[in-house]
Amino acid sequence: MPDTVSLGLVQMAMSTDRDANLARAKELVRECAAEGAQVVCLPELFLSPYFCKTESTEPFGWAEPIPGPTTEALEPLAKELDVVIVASLFEKRARGLYHNTAAVIDGPHGYAGKYRKMHIPDDPLYYEKYYFAPGDLGFKSWRTTRGDLGVLVCWDQWYPEAARATALQGADVLFYPTAIGWHPSEKDSHGDAQREAWITIQRSHAVANGVYVVAVNRTGFEPVTLDDPDAEREGRGIQFWGSSFIVGPDGQILSQLGEEDEGVLVVEADLGAIDEQRHGWPFLRDRRVDAYGDIGQRYGS
């Protein structure tokens, strides 16, 4: 396995043109690779605006099998650039059964597998339970040509159990493709605290597990309904806060994009730092695996 890996992410705003979003994503993957990235992660559901702001049957027509058309479109790019691509897609598993799924494409080896989002939110403007069944593939890490990589998706990032379970599968890096932002009406009162909580919880996953963490968000304002010309001025939608970042195993932010930036971020990760961190803070050694039975309960015992 490599001693270092260059981690890349893409932060972008999505249009209503799915083909244009795919083309833009490919362009930014190329830009990432040109800057040295060996693994590139795209934002959650990057082919479209975040459609879970409402409950509508129309987006079901956008879902696809995995592997399928989008993984097939990305495989030649991954092979050409010799990069691993993490692509978050709307999976159609069967008629009437859908998942929020991330595919892993391992350079010249092609499609490596998928992770289905385990934690599904149901909040104002985040009506994901209408669209997605919970994942049933478990927490996964892939031994790729670029290292041992784990993938989780958005709402998963708030759960220490998910990060721990993925790290225990051998992941040296946790990728979180994400779509998260502000309700404009709450930004002044809660915005800073919400964004900082999002950053803090992912830094904590890095520290608790001694791994690198790559958090990948979209940016831009998206209205609840597309035919609302006053939506942004009057705050009817989500202001995605961007701020994508990469964290080292000591929890320090190594690099971060701004709230409104469209572009890429690349960080060379020294995997030896994982050994150093775990030697100093041996959390995996000192875990009381005999005492955690109650964590399988909803609450209490």
Report, as residue numbers or ranges, the catalytic residues: 44, 117, 154
Three-state DSSP state, 50: coil
Rounded to whole angstroms, how far apart are CA atoms 235 and 185?
6
Instruction: Please state the separation of Cα 141 from the chain's center in Å.
Output: 14
Residue 208: DSSP 8-state = H
Rounded to whole angstroms, how far apart are CA atoms 82 and 146?
10
Quick count: other Cβ atoms within 10 Å of Cβ 40? 32
Residue 10 parent element (H or E): strand 4-11
Residue 64: DSSP 8-state = B
Rounded to whole angstroms, how far apart are CA atoms 39 and 56?
34
Smallest Cα–Cα separation from 25: which of 2, 56, 46, 5?
A: 46
Rounded to whole angstroms, how far apart are CA atoms 287 and 170?
16
190 CB-near residues (< 8 Å, 6+ apart)? 182
> Would you state the structure tokens that stand for residue 109, as one six-digit string?
């080896």
Residue 134: DSSP 8-state = P
